[in-house]
């Protein structure tokens, strides 16, 4: 069993565990995938039939990678494993057993788009306002109910749900849910949530089927256990209740999907359901430096709902965590892009060595713009580049068309958005006449009373008047006033605001960020021309660099939300926008549970970094078109300051004091007295500061000048202080006093 030689003692303990329930708490970078892989290989090597092993993951990619690794150890036997995502495995079971609950083997699986289109149809059939009953919102509401195993009837009879729907002015959601379920069943279709919901129904109502799979699966293994929801966990618990050979791997500190229904209590209270539970903790981190690991520990330690563990590493001490302050989000983007450029040149790194992580998608805008300006290639993961997002392109189309009514592409984009009854047939008639008469589409609209029938003409008149009003407004107002006016009066902002789903909120934030960028444009003194067409020219030149799919080729800097970054690692990581109300999110500080989820998210972000971590925050940021003061995030303040680089004075005075406190807390009273009782005096002149001289600093105490750099723009000195170690100081601010 030579494969066991590649494991540390704790990993090996988990892998060779014989029978009974086992919980593996796997800290960040501790080799979780290796343990799960080797565990399955070990079972097969010890005579367990692969067909009797059920291994559940959250992504097809994870399942495929693990199966390939297992196959390298045990051979082709691994192909018989029941390994895949929750949805794929339970779909497989339902194909065989679904007839018990009225479904044929060839039932259809609706994807998200299919489901939303059906909801849209039902809303229309019920004569409900589609702007209120947005398909995204309704879909998420139904999905959440199913994942909590709440049927349409239970939903209707639940006073809490009814009160929530009434207060959001959507009292008919229970009726939509009922009809949606009926229509899916009539079509012999299941959506993604049904694959779990119906498996639970199948096992609850047909004990013979449950018994069959309880006997079949001698071992049940779960990856990313902290991400399971109520529905998933109930299936797992039922399947493992006979043989009790359930092996789950996860990390409570990385539970960050509560908004998707993930329940952290599944991992925190696992022993309540399996009282003979064996717990193994994987605490050695193989990914990150000591400073990064310890900084992450000092943050997550502030959470109360957690499983006690102390992640550690044998890796190098590494660099301190750099904190960079900017005065605006645009400057933040420039700082990040310049640091990447410098790191690449100084350390011979490639673009793929870098990741920029943010709390919300809208934050990518300033980073993207800065990277473009200095020619650094990037890729936005989990979404498209900021200026390619639908809602951003929609508003830009309105802005472009308000300036230039000959813009055919913009015309086609906005003519019926938000919906105004001008369907594709009407648009095609406009195009036909445009081509026939050799005039622009806009001219057809302005002459619609003579060129088109009365029905289409009546629909076009409000649109024509709207565009004319926008055009006139733009001539007399700056870019921001015009864009804000158009965003509001076009109905676009309301359209997005009314969709209170997670996706809808994100789209609304993206439009607000576009407006923020326009406000920043007009506030910039370098931009003497502040009209809308000047702004459009600037972004046209910028977005012209978009290469679509080609951007994915070669080496690129990774841009993504922190949620998207989970499970990934990069040598150099930037976490941007680490400010109060942004991170932690303003929407996630109403309860201790929410705040702890945000802190776990920050922990996940920190632990993506292998060698170097930058945290950036801005003193001001445009929010809803207004420049607002920002405060450094409490999460930065929660990092033990001994792991922070404060040499550039980019952090608050309180943090500096905390550093000194931490650095000196273990010193003798005499040494502490020497630091705190240094005599005052005027600082020495810069030309008096020579390498080898002893100096005193008002905070760091006594040290020796190791190196002087007077040739750069910012004169610096490297000083080795007795009690706080080596520091690089800017001489214009350091106020050093020569004492020998």
Which stretch of 134-143, 380-389, 607-616, 671-680 has the lowest confidence by average pLDDT?
A: 671-680
One DSSP character per residue, 239-307 reads HHTTT--EEEEE-GGG---GGGT--THHHHTHHHH-TT-EEEEE-B-SSS-HHHHHHHHHHHTT-SSS-
* Identified catalytic residue from 194, 224, 407, 478: 224
pLDDT of residue 654: 54
**Which residues, 6 or more positions from 157, have their beta carbon under 8 angstroms from its beta carbon?**
none
Place of tokens 């989000």: 329
pLDDT at 389 exceeding the cut of 90: no
Whether 13 sits among the annotated catalytic residues: the reply is no
Q: In the structure, what pLDDT confidence band is assigned to residue 541 with cuts at 50, 70 and 90?
A: low
Q: Please give the Cα distance from 549 to 552 (Å, whole number).
A: 6
Q: Judge contact between 709 and 734, C-beta under 8 A.
A: no
- Pick left, alpha or beta for residue 624 (phi over 0 → left; psi -120 to 50 → alpha; otherwise beta): left
Whether 276 sits among the annotated catalytic residues: the reply is no
Mean pLDDT score, 280-289: 96
Q: Please give the Cα distance from 493 to 239 (Å, whole number).
A: 48
pLDDT of residue 682: 65
pLDDT of residue 659: 53
* Percent of residues, the chain, with pLDDT higher than 90: 59
* Percent of residues, the chain, with pLDDT higher than 70: 91
Q: In the structure, what pLDDT confidence band is assigned to residue 86 with cuts at 50, 70 and 90?
A: very high
* Identified catalytic residue from 32, 600, 621, 693: 32
Work out whether strand 570-575 and strand 609-618 pair parallel, antiparallel, or are unpaired: parallel
Mean pLDDT score, 558-567: 94
- Tokens matching residue 310: 């102390």
Mean pLDDT for all residues in the chain: 88
pLDDT of residue 649: 41
* Identified catalytic residue from 232, 254, 313, 363: 254
pLDDT at 411 exceeding the cut of 70: yes
pLDDT at 549 exceeding the cut of 70: no
Q: Please give the Cα distance from 43 to 724 (Å, whole number).
A: 52
Q: Please give the Cα distance from 281 to 260 (Å, whole number).
A: 26
- The larger pLDDT score, comparing residue 672 to residue 551, is at 551
Mean pLDDT score, 86-110: 92
Q: In the structure, what pLDDT confidence band is assigned to residue 386 with cuts at 50, 70 and 90?
A: confident
* Identified catalytic residue from 372, 400, 507, 608: 608
* Identified catalytic residue from 12, 33, 446, 706: 33
Which parts of 499-625 fold into alpha helices (H)? Answer: 502-523, 532-543, 562-565, 592-606
pLDDT of residue 403: 86
- Tokens matching residue 244: 């009790």
CA distances to 94, 111, 121, 127, 727 from 114, rounded to whole Å, are 20, 5, 11, 20, 60
Place of tokens 């841009």: 559
pLDDT of residue 601: 97
- The larger pLDDT score, comparing residue 723 to residue 372, is at 372
pLDDT at 245 exceeding the cut of 90: yes
pLDDT at 526 exceeding the cut of 80: no
Mean pLDDT score, 78-101: 93
pTM as predicted: 0.76
Segment holding 323, helix H or strand E: strand 321-326
Whether 129 sits among the annotated catalytic residues: the reply is no
Mean pLDDT score, 9-32: 95
Q: Judge contact between 33 and 289, C-beta under 8 A.
A: no
pLDDT at 554 exceeding the cut of 90: no
Model confidence over 632-690: pLDDT tens digits?
Answer: 999 999 999 999 986 544 455 555 555 555 544 544 333 333 333 333 456 777 778 88
End-to-end C-alpha distance for the chain, whole angstroms = 66
* Identified catalytic residue from 135, 193, 223, 252: 223
Please tell me which of 487-501, 627-641, 707-721 the model is most confident about, judged by mean pLDDT: 627-641
pLDDT at 358 exceeding the cut of 90: yes
Could you tell me which of 512, 508, 534 has the C-alpha nearest to residue 400? 534
pLDDT of residue 52: 96
Model confidence over 172-231: pLDDT tens digits?
Answer: 999 999 999 999 999 888 999 999 999 999 999 999 999 999 999 999 999 999 999 999
Whether 581 sits among the annotated catalytic residues: the reply is no
Whether 737 sits among the annotated catalytic residues: the reply is no
- The larger pLDDT score, comparing residue 554 to residue 719, is at 719
Q: Judge contact between 394 and 492, C-beta under 8 A.
A: yes
Whether 343 sits among the annotated catalytic residues: the reply is no
Q: In the structure, what pLDDT confidence band is assigned to residue 263 with cuts at 50, 70 and 90?
A: very high
């Amino acid at each position: 069993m030579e494969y066991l030689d590649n494991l540390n003692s704790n990993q090996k303990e988990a892998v060779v565990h014989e029978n009974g329930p086992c919980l593996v708490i796997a800290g960040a970078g501790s080799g979780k995938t290796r343990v799960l892989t080797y565990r399955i290989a070990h079972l097969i090597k010890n005579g367990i039939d692969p067909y009797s092993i059920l291994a559940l993951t959250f992504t097809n990619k994870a399942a495929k990678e693990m199966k390939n690794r297992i196959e390298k150890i045990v051979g082709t036997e691994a192909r018989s494993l029941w390994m895949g995502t929750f949805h794929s495995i339970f779909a497989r079971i339902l194909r065989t057993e679904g007839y018990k609950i009225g479904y044929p083997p060839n039932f259809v699986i609706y994807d998200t788009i299919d489901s939303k289109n059906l909801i849209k149809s039902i809303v229309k059939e019920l004569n409900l306002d589609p702007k209120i009953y947005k398909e995204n919102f309704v879909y998420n509401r139904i999905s959440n109910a199913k994942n909590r195993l709440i049927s349409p009837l239970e939903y209707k009879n639940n006073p809490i749900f009814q009160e929530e729907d009434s207060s959001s002015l959507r009292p008919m959601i229970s009726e939509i849910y009922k009809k949606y379920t009926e229509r899916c069943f009539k079509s012999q279709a299941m959506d993604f949530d049904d694959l779990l919901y119906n498996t639970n129904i199948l096992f609850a109502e047909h004990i013979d089927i449950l018994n069959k799979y309880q006997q079949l699966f001698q071992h049940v293994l779960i990856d990313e256990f902290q991400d399971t929801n109520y529905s998933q966990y109930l299936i797992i618990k039922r399947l493992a209740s006979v043989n009790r050979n359930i092996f789950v791997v996860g990390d409570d500190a990385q539970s960050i999907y509560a908004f998707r229904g993930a329940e952290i209590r599944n991992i925190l209270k696992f022993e309540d359901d399996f009282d003979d539970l064996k717990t193994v903790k994987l605490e050695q981190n193989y990914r990150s430096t000591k400073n990064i690991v310890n900084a992450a520990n000092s943050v997550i330690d502030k959470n109360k709902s957690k499983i006690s563990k102390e992640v550690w590493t044998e890796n190098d001490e590494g660099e301190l965590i750099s904190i960079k302050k900017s005065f605006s989000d645009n400057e933040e983007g420039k700082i990040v892009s310049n640091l990447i450029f410098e790191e690449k040149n100084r350390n011979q790194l490639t673009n793929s060595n870098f990741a920029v992580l943010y709390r919300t998608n809208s934050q990518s805008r300033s980073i993207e713009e800065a990277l473009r300006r200095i020619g650094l290639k990037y890729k936005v993961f989990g979404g498209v580049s900021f200026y390619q997002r639908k809602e951003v392109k929609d508003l830009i189309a309105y802005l472009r068309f308000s300036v230039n009514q000959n813009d055919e592409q913009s015309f086609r984009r906005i003519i019926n958005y938000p919906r105004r009854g001008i369907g594709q047939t009407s648009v095609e008639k406009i195009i036909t006449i445009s081509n026939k008469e050799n005039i622009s589409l806009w001219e057809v609209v302005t002459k619609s009373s003579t060129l088109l029938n009365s029905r289409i003409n009546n629909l076009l008149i409000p649109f024509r008047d709207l565009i004319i009003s926008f055009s006139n407004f733009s001539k007399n107002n700056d870019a921001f006033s015009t864009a804000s006016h158009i965003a509001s009066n076009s109905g676009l902002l309301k359209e997005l605001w009314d969709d209170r789903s997670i996706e809808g909120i994100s789209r609304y934030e993206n439009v607000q960020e576009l407006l923020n960028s326009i406000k920043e444009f007009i506030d910039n003194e370098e931009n003497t021309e502040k009209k809308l067409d000047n702004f459009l020219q600037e972004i046209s030149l910028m977005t012209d660099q978009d290469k679509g799919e080609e951007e994915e080729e070669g080496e690129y800097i990774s841009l993504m939300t922190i949620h998207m970054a989970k499970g990934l690692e990069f040598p150099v990581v930037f976490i941007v926008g680490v400010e109060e109300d942004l991170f932690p999110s303003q929407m996630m500080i109403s309860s201790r549970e929410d705040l702890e989820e945000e802190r776990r998210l920050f922990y996940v972000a920190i632990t993506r970094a292998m060698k170097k971590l930058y945290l950036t925050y801005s003193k001001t940021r445009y929010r809803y078109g207004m420049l607002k003061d920002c405060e450094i995030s409490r999460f930065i303040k929660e990092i033990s300051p001994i792991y922070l680089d404060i040499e550039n004075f980019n952090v608050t005075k309180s943090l500096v004091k905390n550093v000194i406190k931490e650095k000196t807390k273990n010193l003798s009273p005499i040494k502490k007295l020497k630091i705190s009782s240094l005599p005052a005096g005027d600082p020495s002149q810069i030309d008096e500061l020579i390498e080898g001289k002893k100096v005193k600093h008002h905070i760091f105490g006594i040290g020796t000048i190791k190196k002087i750099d007077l040739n750069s723009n910012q004169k610096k000195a490297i000083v080795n202080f007795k009690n706080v170690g080596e520091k690089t100081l800017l001489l214009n601010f350091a106020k050093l006093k020569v004492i020998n």
